[in-house]
Structure 1
Amino acid sequence: MKTNQLLYLSQDDVANVGLTMAEIVDAVERGFAEMGHGRVEMPPKPGIHPGEGGDNFIHAMPAYIPAMQSAGVKWVSGYPGNHAKGLPYITGLLILNDPDTGIPKAVMDCAWITAMRTGAASAVSARYLARPASSTIGILACGVQGHTNLEAMNVLFPLEKVFAFDPNKDNASDLADFARQLGLNVEIVDDPKKAVAGCDIVVTSGPILKVPHATIQAGWVDPGTFVSLVDFDSFFSREALGEAAKWTTDHIGQYNYYKDAGGYFQDCPEIYAELGELVTGGKTGRENADEITMAANLGLAMDDMAVAPLIFQRAVEKSIGTWLPL
């Protein structure tokens, strides 16, 4: 690291360092192990909600993982209406600090990191909650998170068939092309039930909404299915959520903050476990082939800080990015 300088990494720079999804899954799982042992400092993320409707957010997400020599903060926004403007839903920056001195050593675009680590966290949950031989997956909402969740699940499971549902046909077509690049068979469906019933794994990855549209109804999810609710509870009716044998999240404190202060997760099942508890064995994951298991992961600063040092190290090794004076 250069003295009195920080490394700026654009979105292209971050993507071009060459970090693989398998490496990201491993890093995120290690972070959850640290969290499960109580060795991560991470307050619930505060946020603001500009505009009308309440679904826009800009969040500050700090975390410190001593074992991974990682400290920093992500300032990230999510605006559901951006798609209509030709803009990305998720944007923001991540600041990585030297944990020994507190001096910022890198500023990097966070959109790629957010997309990849979110998919990785879903896959880590699935490692403990899905059936190991899971081969069919349904993706409902086929944007960025649909892609990265599929990529991450494909790292850990012997996937063969993808069912893709999205009201936006271009999104569904893009996901289908991506699935074929991964060597998977894919079917675009026009009925959301066809992307749920009969699947081993289901991922809902649309915008996070305070008022759920509740598309998925009771009886759609088969016994034994694992569901990753990337968009919180937006896709599910309360009756469908009530069918879960195990309802999990990545951080109970943050979950309760969203529930009590933000109005999300109303009338949802009682939390069975945090992901860190599953990773460390503090709580048992799937216990039989018929359990419906669900993970409502929120997206944690810990995820970002588990990945950011790897990006910084790889960028320095490959001379990627721009050094700026402090």
Structure 2
Amino acid sequence: MLILGSGEVHQVLDGAEAEVLAAVRRAYLLHDRGRTALPHSVFLRFPEDPRNRIIGLPAYLGEDAPVAGIKWIASFPGNTASGLERASAAMILNSMATGQPETLLEGSVISARRTAASAALAASALGSSVPETGVSLIGCGVIGFEILAYLRAVLPGLATVTLFDLDRSRADAFAARCQARWPGLRTEVAGNAEGALAAHRLVCLATTAAAPHLTTDACRPGTLVLHVSLRDLTPESILSAVNVVDDADHVCRESTSLHLAEQLSGSRDFITTSIGSVLNAAEPFRRPGDRVTVFSPFGLGTLDLALADLVRRRAEPLGLGTWVPDFLPAPVGAASG
């Protein structure tokens, strides 16, 4: 068993935006072509504690170098008050020859980077005739910062970011971090969510909301909303939008905004297409200038697999990780002692 901790995962992925984007794009393409296996994620919830959860995401990514495994990710929003990260995760990759677990990786970094790459790919693929020069981020946590980094990688003209968080001190700290990393980036903090929604035609929602709390009424026509946290928008706002998802079966469950919209409307006809279909299409997608387009990614386990496999393949020749040769039982009949 090869064990790769957070620092080693960072060592591989830091500065590797192009490789991460390519890996996530490939995973979306393969999923659209039917080259994946993706059971529904398992949500472990706790009696009398609805805010916290642990999710298991098993997946298989096929074709030339197939890979299978699972991500086990906990979301405990109260951690932030204690100075801990909201999310923590571990990933296991299995041998496709024997099924034995081969690699154990710290998973929160992988999860954050694949989420950011997914949002950035959508922002570039769901384009408009007007170049994006600014983005509004609602939710100033780890995921929001990673998304901003990847948006800047795919949208070089991005010059302004407008921030909003229910905790003003988090927004101010986020703004300071932005200025330290990107001194040329103009950073503003909005006084309310509606001001952030109206500021730019590119909006990202990355909050810990458990139920809808926003409409798209304040958005400009032609706005693209990256609905990363999935439960921010009212079902009525979803039904009035052009909706792009990663996988309809996965995203229309567990009381997401799209699940509520499906229950309200009685069908999934409000979903226009998937990001995999957009990326596989011969013609580029152009979002309408008179409506809001919403990208709602459930967060497919195949994306985590793609990045975990990238980390494993790059780590081994670099000598990274800790090898535990006796992690598994000895083969039957092997000499003992």
TM norm. shorter chain > 0.5: yes
**Structure 2: stretches of 5+ with no match in the other structure:** 263-267, 328-337
Structure 1 residues 174 and 26, CA, compared in 2 at 3 Å: closer, same or farther? farther
2:72 aligned partner: 75
Structure 1 residues 323 and 55, CA, compared in 2 at 3 Å: closer, same or farther? same
Q: Do 1:13 and 1:320's aligned partners in 2 also have CA atoms closer than 8 Å?
A: yes
2:309 is paired with a residue whose SS is helix
The separation in 1 between residues aligned to 2:78 and 2:127, in whole angstroms, is 33
The separation in 1 between residues aligned to 2:173 and 2:5, in whole angstroms, is 24
The separation in 2 between residues aligned to 1:78 and 1:86, in whole angstroms, is 14
Structure 1 residues 231 and 278, CA, compared in 2 at 3 Å: closer, same or farther? same
Query: Is the aligned partner of 1:13 residue 2:8?
Result: yes
Q: Do 2:5 and 2:321's aligned partners in 1 also have CA atoms closer than 8 Å?
A: yes
How far the C-alpha of 1:78 sits from its partner, in A, is: 1.0
The separation in 1 between residues aligned to 2:287 and 2:165, in whole angstroms, is 32
Higher relative contact order (CA 8 A, sep 6+): 1
Structure 1 residues 39 and 321, CA, compared in 2 at 3 Å: closer, same or farther? same
Q: Do 1:91 and 1:111's aligned partners in 2 also have CA atoms closer than 8 Å?
A: yes
The separation in 2 between residues aligned to 1:263 and 1:196, in whole angstroms, is 17
How far the C-alpha of 1:86 sits from its partner, in A, is: 2.9
**Structure 1: stretches of 5+ with no match in the other structure:** 1-5
1:302 aligned partner: 302
Structure 1 residues 315 and 44, CA, compared in 2 at 3 Å: closer, same or farther? same
Q: Which amino acid aligns with 1:7?
A: L
Structure 1 residues 166 and 258, CA, compared in 2 at 3 Å: closer, same or farther? same
Number of aligned positions between the proteins = 314
The separation in 2 between residues aligned to 1:90 and 1:283, in whole angstroms, is 38
Structure 1 residues 66 and 238, CA, compared in 2 at 3 Å: closer, same or farther? closer
How far the C-alpha of 1:286 sits from its partner, in A, is: 2.5
How far the C-alpha of 1:94 sits from its partner, in A, is: 0.1
Structure 1 residues 218 and 309, CA, compared in 2 at 3 Å: closer, same or farther? closer
> After superposition, where does 1:113-152 map in structure 2 within 5 Å?
113-131=110-128, 133-152=131-150
Structure 1 residues 179 and 130, CA, compared in 2 at 3 Å: closer, same or farther? farther
Deviations 1:62-121 (A, max 9, x none): 111123432111111112222223322111200012223322221011110111100111
How far the C-alpha of 1:166 sits from its partner, in A, is: 1.1
Structure 1 residues 263 and 31, CA, compared in 2 at 3 Å: closer, same or farther? closer
Structure number with greater Rg is: 2
The separation in 1 between residues aligned to 2:175 and 2:272, in whole angstroms, is 34
Deviations 1:127-179 (A, max 9, x none): 22233611110000110111011111111112010001112233212322343
Identity %: 27
How far the C-alpha of 1:203 sits from its partner, in A, is: 0.5
1:3 aligned partner: none
2:18 aligned partner: 22
Q: Which moved more, 1:12-21 or 1:34-43?
A: 12-21
The separation in 2 between residues aligned to 1:297 and 1:274, in whole angstroms, is 9
The separation in 1 between residues aligned to 2:27 and 2:6, in whole angstroms, is 23
